[in-house]
């Protein structure tokens, strides 16, 4: 009961703060909930103009642990903001914003800067806690048109979404846009205090209301779905007449070459023809016509390691990704999202579902399912099969002794088995016990770098990778595993891009993989990408991580030469990371045309869909994209996408990016003729 009074009192203080009134110290407490389990907490102590915050999360063996100290002026805007602690993967945080006498200075992982400003602007943190969300909403509510220029740069916008009740507490739901890739969903109580911050996989909620998380997640999904339904109506161009794309070359994955100039005709969701036009040909009046400008049409890319959200669909489509394999998600969210995409209600790629199964430990990932017994684990396999999942994914804390019976049951039901290699288990044993595929290149490598007592449920699965540069790829243990993979036809879902991002990230610097697009992005995302994800104890360790990233490319070349099927995946949802993954394949020494085949036809064949997807041929589904360059020479050409067609719906990335608050990279070709 005292806690409830303290929280209410803190909310009143925050509201009073904005009215230039002050009171004694009070504390606001929040829980972080994932999959109905508490995985963290936030405690904010407000005393006069000062706010002191501690924020800690431990989910999937990682999470931020920070302390924030703010000083607010009479308008409720910070003039001092200090953030210290550790980021999600353990990198040190020391971020600060200061405004005094018309001048502001800031520093963080992304660098430092300063600016003259007569009054302090609202500061967008790089490593702040969710408490800032309430601060942003309260400030934006007082701004003209609920829009505000912010520091270091950019503009925040606020939209009121819905008034409702959580229990007996009246709340208002808002969306903040302009800082990050997806709108931030925030609930404020009537007194102006933060009640909850909502995301698809994690909820921050006022202590005492943890039992309302399911209601909050349903609210979050309904609000996002409503917004995306409107965007789908506006951005998906539908045609009841044939669509003719003229003057294009088509990438043929079978020959790994480009065709001579042809026209590709689509009727509804199927490719009707792929053929050269006679010199005197004039398109019929009842067709929609697009001039491809001599560019290249490529079958839609596939991300073989995705974790979809409602918002990820538009990013994937804009990047030419028309198919993904989801390797672990909230089960109800994924089933609902896949259904809505299939029915054309929401934008997004085709989704192949893999069911994640985890073990119970203090390091458990709170997605998918966590059985307590082996019979329960087998029932979970059957549930996934009955709900149309095509694959099982085993995770870090899963009992190694359960792998063989779970794999046997999955295979009986026609499902493939993949996963992380569970802690205290080797990749070789996982393969012998029934794995068909290993997820993440580091999960393969860790088998050569760790011993029986090493706990890979922790961030050790990243930090131990610093030792990889010194490993001999011709050593007996490496050759033994590769030989076993060849013998059993084991595939590897690489996600090299995410390992590069984690291991080669350096505070204040833009990674090569992010450089082509980052300055087009919202300021919050730009700052987030200029960070270190791991802490380096010395210059030698710093260099070891960089050398190990290069060694990963050497390993990819070895695996390619040995005939191991590598599946391009990202463990990300931006679409841009798919492009970088393909660049890394080419950088590893794989020819660009071969990389394109691996990212299109080979993925569909692996999944069993090559008869209807993966190449641009008459009768197949109309899933493809147009680029102006020749990606068979340089796969980076896939970054300049002009149009995307998915299941017969036409999208222009320039329109998508504008709708998402991102500066477009290309212009859309003109469509002439009738359209509906």
Question: pLDDT band for position 2 (50/70/90)?
Answer: very low
Q: How far is CA 529 from CA 409, 504, 517, in A?
A: 42, 11, 11
Give 24's pLDDT tier (boundaries 50, 70, 90): low
Query: pLDDT, tens digit, for every residue of 416-450?
Result: 999 999 999 999 999 999 999 999 999 999 999 99
**Buried b / exposed e along 459-488 (16+ C-beta atoms within 10 A):** bbbbbbbbbbbebeeeeeebeebbeebeee
pLDDT digits (tens, 9 = 90+) for 348-369: 999 999 999 999 998 888 888 9
Closest CA to 308 of 221, 376, 419, 235: 221
pLDDT mean over 53-65: 91
pLDDT over 90 at 3, yes or no: no
Mean pLDDT along residues 56-61: 88
Helix (H) / strand (E) element for 216: namely: helix 213-235
Query: How many other CB atoms are found less than 10 A from the CB of residue 584?
Result: 24
Long-range contacts of 93-101 (CB under 8 A, 24+ apart): 93/64, 93/66, 93/127, 95/125, 95/126, 95/127, 95/128, 97/123, 97/125, 97/151
Distance CA 584, CA 619 (A): 33
Q: What is the CATH number of domain 239-300+614-676?
A: 2.30.40.10
Classify domain 301-613 at the CATH topology level: TIM Barrel (3.20.20)
If you classify domain 2-234 with CATH, what class do you get?
mainly beta
pLDDT 10s digits, 204-247: 999 999 999 999 999 999 999 999 999 999 999 999 999 999 99
Write out pLDDT tens, residues 172-214: 999 999 888 889 999 999 999 999 999 877 899 999 999 999 9
pLDDT of the residue at 675 = 55
Average pLDDT, the chain: 93
Same fold, 2-234 and 239-300+614-676: no
Q: How far out from the chain centre does Cα 544 lie?
A: 27
**Residue 493 in contact with residue 418, Cβ under 8 Å?**
yes
Give pLDDT, residue 537. Answer: 83
Residue 311 pLDDT > 80: yes
Residue 292, pLDDT above cutoff 60: yes
Q: How many C-beta neighbours within 10 Å does residue 44 have?
A: 24
Give the model's pLDDT for residue 16: 40
d(CA 12, CA 140): 18
**Domain edges within the chain:** 2-234, 239-300+614-676, 301-613
152: preceding bond cis by omega (within 30 degrees): yes
Residue 19 pLDDT exceeds 70:
no
User: Are 28 and 46 a contacting pair, CB within 8 Å?
Assistant: yes
> Which pLDDT score is estimated for 239?
95
Crossing angle of helices 496-503 and 539-561, rounded to 10°: 170
What whole-number distance in Å separates Cα of residue 455 and Cα of residue 422? Answer: 9
Read off the pTM.
Answer: 0.89
């Amino acid at each position: 009961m005292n806690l409830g009074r303290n929280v209410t009192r803190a909310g009143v203080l925050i509201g009073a703060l904005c009215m230039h009134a002050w009171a004694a110290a009070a504390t606001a407490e929040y829980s972080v909930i994932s999959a109905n389990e508490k995985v963290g907490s936030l405690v904010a102590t407000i005393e006069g103009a000062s706010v002191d915050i501690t924020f800690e999360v431990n989910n999937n063996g990682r999470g931020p642990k920070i302390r924030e100290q703010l000083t607010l002026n009479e308008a409720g805007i910070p003039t001092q903001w200090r953030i210290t602690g550790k980021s999600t993967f353990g990198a040190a945080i020391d971020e600060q914003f200061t405004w005094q006498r018309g001048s502001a200075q800031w520093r963080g992982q992304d660098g430092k800067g300063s600016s003259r400003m007569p009054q302090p602007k609202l500061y967008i943190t790089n490593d702040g806690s969710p408490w800032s969300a309430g601060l942003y909403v309260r400030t934006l509510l007082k701004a003209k048109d609920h829009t505000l220029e912010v520091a270091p740069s950019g503009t925040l916008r606020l939209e009121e979404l819905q008034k409702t009740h959580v229990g007996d507490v009246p709340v208002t739901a808002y969306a903040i846009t302009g800082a990050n890739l997806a709108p931030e969903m925030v609930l404020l109580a009537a007194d102006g205090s933060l009640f909850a911050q909502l995301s698809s996989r994690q909820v921050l909620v006022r202590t005492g209301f943890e039992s309302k998380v399911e209601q909050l997640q349903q609210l979050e999904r309904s609000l996002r779905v409503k917004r995306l339904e409107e965007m789908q109506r506006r951005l998906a161009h539908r045609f009841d007449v044939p669509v003719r794309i003229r003057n294009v070359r088509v990438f043929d994955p079978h020959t790994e070459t480009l065709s001579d100039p042809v026209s590709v005709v689509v009727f509804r969701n199927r490719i009707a023809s792929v053929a050269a036009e006679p010199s005197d040909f004039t398109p019929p009046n009842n067709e929609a016509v697009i001039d491809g400008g001599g560019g290249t049409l490529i079958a839609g890319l596939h991300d073989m390691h995705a974790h979809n959200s409602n918002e990820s669909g538009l990013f994937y489509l804009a990047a030419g990704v028309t198919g993904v394999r989801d390797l672990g998600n909230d089960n109800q969210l994924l089933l609902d999202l896949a259904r809505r995409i299939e029915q054309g209600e929401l934008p997004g790629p085709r989704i192949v579902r893999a069911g994640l199964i985890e073990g119970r430990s203090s390091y458990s990932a709170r997605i998918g399912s966590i059985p307590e017994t082996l019979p329960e684990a087998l029932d979970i396999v059957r549930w996934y099969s009955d709900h149309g999942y095509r694959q099982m994914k085993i995770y870090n804390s899963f009992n190694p002794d359960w792998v063989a019976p779970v794999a046997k049951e999955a295979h009986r039901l026609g499902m493939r088995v993949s996963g992380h290699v569970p802690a205290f288990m080797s990749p070789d044993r996982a393969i012998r016990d029934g794995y068909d595929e290993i997820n993440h290149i580091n999960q393969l490598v860790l088998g050569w770098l760790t011993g029986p007592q090493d706990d890979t449920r922790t961030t050790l699965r990243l930090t131990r990778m610093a030792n990889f540069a010194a490993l001999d790829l011709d050593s007996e243990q490496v050759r033994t595993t590769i030989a076993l993979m060849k013998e059993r036809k084991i595939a590897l879902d690489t996600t090299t891009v995410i390992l590069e991002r984690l291991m080669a990230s350096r505070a204040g610097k833009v990674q090569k993989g992010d450089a082509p697009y980052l300055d087009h992005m919202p300021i919050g995302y730009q700052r987030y990408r200029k960070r270190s994800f791991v802490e380096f104890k010395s210059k030698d360790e710093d260099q070891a991580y960089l050398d190990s990233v290069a060694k990963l490319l050497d390993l990819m070349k070895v695996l390619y030469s040995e005939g191991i099927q590598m599946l391009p995946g990202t463990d990300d949802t931006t679409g841009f990371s798919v492009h970088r993954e393909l660049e890394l394949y080419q950088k590893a020494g794989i020819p660009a045309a071969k990389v394109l085949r691996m990212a299109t036809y080979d993925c569909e064949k692996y999944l069993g869909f090559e008869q209807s997807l993966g190449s641009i041929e008459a009768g197949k589904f109309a899933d493809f994209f147009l680029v102006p360059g020749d990606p068979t020479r340089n796969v980076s050409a896939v970054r300049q996408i002009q149009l995307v067609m998915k299941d017969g719906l036409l999208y222009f990335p320039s329109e998508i990016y504008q709708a998402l608050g991102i500066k477009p990279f290309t212009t859309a070709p003109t469509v002439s003729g009738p359209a509906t």
